[in-house]
Amino acid sequence: MDDNKQGVNDYLLRTVVEQIKLPLIHIARQAEIAKDSSAGVDPESLSALSEMAIKLIDSYFLSLPDPNQVKLALEPVSLSSVLQTAAYNLEGMAKLYNCEIQLRLSGKFSPVMSHRTRLEAAFTMLGFAFIESQNQPENGKKSQVYLTGYKTAQGLAGGVFSPQLEMTNESLKRGLEGLGKQHQALPELSQTTSAGVFIADALLDNLAAKLRVAHYRKLSGLATTLLPSRQLQLI
Amino acid sequence: MKKILLVEPDSLLAKSYSQYLINNGFSVKVSHHVQKAVDEIDTELPDVVILELQIASHNGYEFLYELRSYMEWQDIPVIIHTSVPIHVSSMNDQIMKQLGVVSYLYKPSTSLSKLLYAVDDSLTVSKK
């Protein structure tokens, strides 16, 4: 592996380590409250926090290049089912953060050439970054995060959107370039290190796809465009 | 009852901290972002502010400078309670003194009881 790639991986690891502190702080403080009062620890919240920490670690490992594999083998993948799995993965965290995950699929899609596990991990990580950064609406309602698939002139787009995101492609680019150099790399999105976005970017990079700022109806988000599998279209 | 304004962007952490402080006899208001924090202080002056420096779209330092720019808010003690280790922050003793920061607590290694101690301490200091 060349030095530059190794440096990027080291920065990514540092960002992931910083991010993992957050669920651990939650768990530690909840345990402290339980110890000091008669209230027990909420098992649902512990489960959601620890599951997400595990997913963060697994997704980081998936984003690393496999030294035994020169090129990743792509396969026909259904974008709608990938988004559905990501939504399912995010349910526990969403509930904890009083957030509602909405799955929006505009039409029926042909399969795309991709890698199911990595694509699911990328959307799960993006969703995770969005959920924890949502401001709670003042009226006591839930905040909303949308997992969306839609057709574009170039192919099929899949992404994570919210009514709150105020980010441009310029600020995303600046943030991604600042990997490992700043404690709060994407301040327009989140107060954290935004490890989920960096992992998603690395995973999509493995799939020769690019993360970009996108708009869908009145929502802004981070999305990628995937090419439909032409072979399967002919069958 | 002493009033605390907790400026904490993570809603889940805010819930844990406020629950603990309420259990220990404080009245706690939570702001997840800077503008709401300014509005809260404008509505009711807190006895102490607990502040996370990393806030989406804003930055805790700017909030601190804004807080100290108003004469009537200059004496509110501020406890920084943040995920940013002090050695990578731009805080030093001189800036902390200048901005009325009474404690700098690194969140991952600050237990709730340590936070409570810092709050009690800040109220004692502000009384003197």
Secondary structure, 3-state, chain A: CCHHHHHHHHHHHHHHHHHHHHHHHHHHHHHHHHHHCCCCCCHHHHHHHHHHHHHHHHHHHHHCCCCCCCCCCCEEECHHHHHHHHHHHHHHHHHHCCEEEEEEECCCCCCEEECHHHHHHHHHHHHHHHHHHCCCCCCCCCEEEEEEEEECCCCEEEEEEECCCCCCHHHHHHHHHCCCCCCCCCCCCCCCCCHHHHHHHHHHHHCCCCCEEEEECCEEEEEEEECECHHHHHC
CB-nearest partner of B108 from A21, A135, A190: A21
Q: Which residue has the higher pLDDT, B65 or A187?
A: B65
Give the ipTM: 0.85
Indicate yes or no: CB of A26 within 8 angstroms of CB of B23.
no
Domain that holds residue B117: 3-127
pLDDT higher than 80, residue B43:
yes
pLDDT higher than 90, residue B92:
no
Indicate yes or no: CB of B56 within 8 angstroms of CB of A188.
yes
Q: Please tell me the total count of domains within chain B.
A: 1
Mean pLDDT, range B55-79, rounded to an integer: 87
- The model carries a pTM of 0.88
Q: Specify the CATH number for the domain of residue A210.
A: 3.30.565.10
Q: Please tell me the total count of domains within chain A.
A: 1
Q: Specify the CATH number for the domain of residue B35.
A: 3.40.50.2300
Domain that holds residue A97: 1-235
Indicate yes or no: CB of A29 within 8 angstroms of CB of B16.
yes
pLDDT higher than 70, residue A234:
no
Contact between residue A127 and residue A165 where contact means Cβ atoms under 8 Å apart: no
Pick from A40-44, A118-122, A131-135, A229-233: least confident: A229-233
Q: Which residues of A touch B52 (CB under 8 A)?
A: 191
CB-nearest partner of A98 from B11, B55, B84: B11
CB-nearest partner of A183 from B16, B23, B88: B88
Tokens of B13: 């952490």
- Output DSSP code: residue B121: H
CA pair distance B53, B59, nearest whole angstrom:
6
